[in-house]
Amino acid sequence: MVSKVALLGLAAAMSVLMKVSSQNYGDALTKSILFFEGQRSGKIPSTQRVTWRKDSALLDGSSIGMDLVGGYYDAGDNIKFNFPMAFTTTMLAWSVLEFGPLMGSDLEHALEAIQWSTDYLLKSTSVPGTVVAQVGEPISDHNCWERPEDMDTPRTTYVVNQTHPGSELSAEIAAALAVSSLVFKTTQANYSNILLERASSVFDFADNFQGSYDGSVGQGVCPYYCDYNGYQDELLWGAAWLYKATNDGKYWDYILKNASNSASPFVYRRASVDSIGNNLSEFGWDSKEAGINILVSGVINNNQSVNTPNEKPFTVNGDNFVCSILPESPTKSVTFSPGGLLFKSGGTNLQHATSLSFLLIAYARYLEKAKRGVSCGNVAVTPARIINFAKGQVDYILGKNPLGMSYMVGFGEKYPQRIHHRGSSIPSVDKHPGHIACHEGTSYFESKDPNPNLHVGAVVGGPDSNDQFSDDRTNAAQLEPTTYINAPLVGVLAYFKSLQSRSEITH
Which amino acids are annotated catalytic? 77, 420, 471, 480
Contact 488/95 with Cβ under 8 angstroms? yes
Q: Is 373 helix (H, G, I), strand (E, B) or coil?
A: coil
Q: Compute the distance between CA of residue 168 and CA of residue 165 in angstroms, rounded to an integer.
A: 9
Alpha-carbon distances of 404 from 267, 451, 455, 467, rounded to whole Å: 48, 20, 20, 10
Q: Compute the distance between CA of residue 123 and CA of residue 201 in angstroms, rounded to an integer.
A: 14
C-alpha dihedral over 497, 491, 106, 299, to 10 degrees? -120
Half-sphere exposure of 38 (CA within 13 A, CB side): 28
The DSSP letter of residue 459 is: B
Q: Compute the distance between CA of residue 371 and CA of residue 382 in angstroms, rounded to an integer.
A: 10
Give me the phi and psi of 260, to 5 degrees please: -140, 25
Chain centre to alpha carbon of residue 223: 20
- How many C-beta atoms surround the C-beta of residue 209 within 10 A? 17
Contact 108/180 with Cβ under 8 angstroms? no
Rg (CA), the chain: 21
> What per-residue string of b and e applies to 433-464 under the rule 16 or more CB within 10 Å gives b?
eeebebeebeebbeeeeebebbbbbbbbbbbb
Contact 271/230 with Cβ under 8 angstroms? yes
Angle at Cα 234 formed by Cα 229 and Cα 240, nearest 5°? 145
Q: Compute the distance between CA of residue 425 and CA of residue 417 in angstroms, rounded to an integer.
A: 10
Contact 391/23 with Cβ under 8 angstroms? no
Helix-, strand-, coil-residue percentages of the chain, each rounded to 5: 50, 5, 45
In order, the DSSP letters of 66-80 are ------B--SSSS-E
The DSSP element (H or E) to which 135 belongs, if any, is: strand 130-135
Q: With CA atoms as reference, report the closest residue to 492 among 392, 411, 410.
A: 392
- How many C-beta atoms surround the C-beta of residue 63 within 10 A? 13
Q: Which residues make beta-bridge pairs with 158?
A: 134
